[in-house]
Structure 1
């Protein structure tokens, strides 16, 4: 078994403070401090040094963590090999993901898993605003569906395995009477002087807004902020700004807003990836979960994207047209969905 004190040190590296580490591991701060003091005494090297009210990892701790990451990956593989001696049907699988992926990819994948493996217990969560890589590291989830950002771990990070799921276009959401509303598409740079709404989960969708606009040559003038897509659509419909909207995100039909395609090379898009602790993909529940997510993402891509254009009240009755996107209940659904 891997020394649990190494896991505590790994979480401290991510959280930065003893208090935050204790909260993530459901321990008391004194227990965390005691664990690390005993580990330091056993190894004969200092692992932490005080910096004001915080602590900082020593170079010895950084060296130890490199070995701890490798040991953890080996242990995950060992657990997978041991699980192969059982039937692998029972157990639990926890999947955390951004809300739009939860609705369009994770839920369909989980439904297939439930039918194919009825003994598998599933826990699906959104964890809005949380760092899902930290949830993986703290073993609070098994698979995380995330949007990669410049501040996230690189693809070759020894702690995680990252698998691409799909590439999702970003659209521009504008009021129905906006000059862009009647156009087939616009360049993002054309919206540089617009007032912007920072829309979606603060951890990654907001970061995507900044990086996408920076690539287009401007910094967005952000005046408002919302997470729920119903609230976001209302702000746009009432003229408080424009926003980026991922193609997976359903916008409520009763708001007078328009999706406008963003042109460019490359066109603004976000990637969804499935992440697991490195080595854990050989465990039967995790392997089945990854395969189901890949299948659901491929099916979404094959069905086509949500329609663009006016999504508000429509006098010519386009709201009765069949939905080529997610639900079959009209062009856009799920007024409460976020991101």
Structure 2
């Protein structure tokens, strides 16, 4: 009989294209994935991976087996859901993904509450950006994900996924304390002509939102520094190397060298949880989403 864990490893390699990418998606080390594949080869007496340059490619047999794996893993998930329903309790592992500021500002109290209330729940957290999180939920690599989009930049979510709104988070323009606009309480895009921006890399939701919003106001943003981590953006900003747009969720107290200004209209991002529709009957999914909703209601009062 084929071991499901090994089958899952092969399926991940087929989906992600490499052992390293599969390991990252599964939360394993590359060597652990390689060992799983090697055991599966011995188990099936079939060569599944072939060396190609510095990487590997799937053999015809591996592609055939991986093609069946998706359906098999979906059936196993349904069986586990049914058993969990019969027990009437939230049990088992829940793989929860979230973007960086949600990992910092929302998940710690939510995960702590679940750990205290649901002793049989094994919650695992992965930091991942919203588009990738949606794909991972669709593929069964995450069970629930906290994602976001901006009101004028919606996030594509497959129809096979269920979603529940958590709330709205606002963002402010941050400027150095000595900036020409530092004493203003609010600004408009037109006030920011010629400013050098510090923002996330091109292709990210926040970068694309900033560029689109400025251009809608007929202002061409000058992106001087592309930096993923918000705290690092603040370090550049505090030393006068540009301005930035930072959300309030998960934002630490600002140093005295930085000022927060409201941007008009107010930049608003929508937070929501997504999971596979077919897993909606699983009690563990329900309690996880409920904990996220409760925690958001508390967090939003302090941001």
TM-score when scaled to structure 2? 0.71
Alignment match, 1:168: 169
Cα gap change, 1:253 to 1:75, in 2 (>3 Å): same
Please list, as runs of the form range in 1=range in 2, the aligned pairs for 1:164-243 lying within 5 A after superposition: 164-199=165-200, 206-217=204-215, 218-243=219-244
Alignment match, 2:288: 289
Of residues 151, 156, 159, the one that matches 1:157 is 159
CA distance in structure 1 between the aligned counterparts of 2:115 and 2:99, rounded to whole angstroms:
21
Cα gap change, 1:186 to 1:300, in 2 (>3 Å): same
Q: Deviations over 1:23-81 (max 9, x none)?
A: 6466449959x99xx9xxxxxxxxxxxxxx999xxxxx9xx98x998887676444322
Alignment match, 1:147: 148
CA distance in structure 1 between the aligned counterparts of 2:182 and 2:140, rounded to whole angstroms:
46
Alignment match, 1:41: none
Contact 1:97–1:127 at 8 Å: present in 2 too? yes
Q: Deviations over 1:78-131 (max 9, x none)?
A: 432221112424423332212321233222222222232233233334347993
Contact 1:165–1:273 at 8 Å: present in 2 too? yes
Deviation at 1:194, TM superposition (A): 0.8
Cα gap change, 1:224 to 1:169, in 2 (>3 Å): same
CA distance in structure 2 between the aligned counterparts of 1:18 and 1:234, rounded to whole angstroms:
36
CA distance in structure 1 between the aligned counterparts of 2:164 and 2:202, rounded to whole angstroms:
20
Matched, 1:245 2:246: yes
Match of 1:95, SS state, is strand
Cα gap change, 1:132 to 1:233, in 2 (>3 Å): same
239-248 or 227-236: which moved more?
A: 227-236
Cα gap change, 1:185 to 1:162, in 2 (>3 Å): same
CA distance in structure 1 between the aligned counterparts of 2:82 and 2:154, rounded to whole angstroms:
30
Matched, 1:121 2:122: yes
CA distance in structure 1 between the aligned counterparts of 2:182 and 2:134, rounded to whole angstroms:
38
Cα gap change, 1:118 to 1:71, in 2 (>3 Å): closer
Please list, as runs of the form range in 1=range in 2, the aligned pairs for 1:1-339 lying within 5 A after superposition: 15=16, 20-21=21-22, 24=25, 27-28=33-34, 31=37, 76-127=77-128, 131-137=132-138, 139-148=140-149, 154-158=156-160, 160-199=161-200, 206-217=204-215, 218-264=219-265, 267-301=266-300, 303=301, 325=302
Match of 1:121, SS state, is strand
CA distance in structure 1 between the aligned counterparts of 2:19 and 2:103, rounded to whole angstroms:
32
Q: Deviations over 1:173-223 (max 9, x none)?
A: 111122222222112343242101124xx597x432323331331443222
More helix by share: 2
23-32 or 77-86: which moved more?
A: 23-32
TM-score when scaled to structure 1? 0.65
Cα gap change, 1:146 to 1:23, in 2 (>3 Å): closer
Give 5+ residue unaligned stretches, structure 1: 39-52, 56-60, 304-324, 327-339
CA distance in structure 2 between the aligned counterparts of 1:80 and 1:286, rounded to whole angstroms:
10
Contact 1:96–1:124 at 8 Å: present in 2 too? yes
Deviation at 1:254, TM superposition (A): 3.2
Cα gap change, 1:278 to 1:54, in 2 (>3 Å): farther
Q: Deviations over 1:287-310 (max 9, x none)?
A: 100111012123333x2xxxxxxx
Cα gap change, 1:7 to 1:189, in 2 (>3 Å): farther
Match of 2:280, SS state, is helix
Cα gap change, 1:4 to 1:95, in 2 (>3 Å): closer
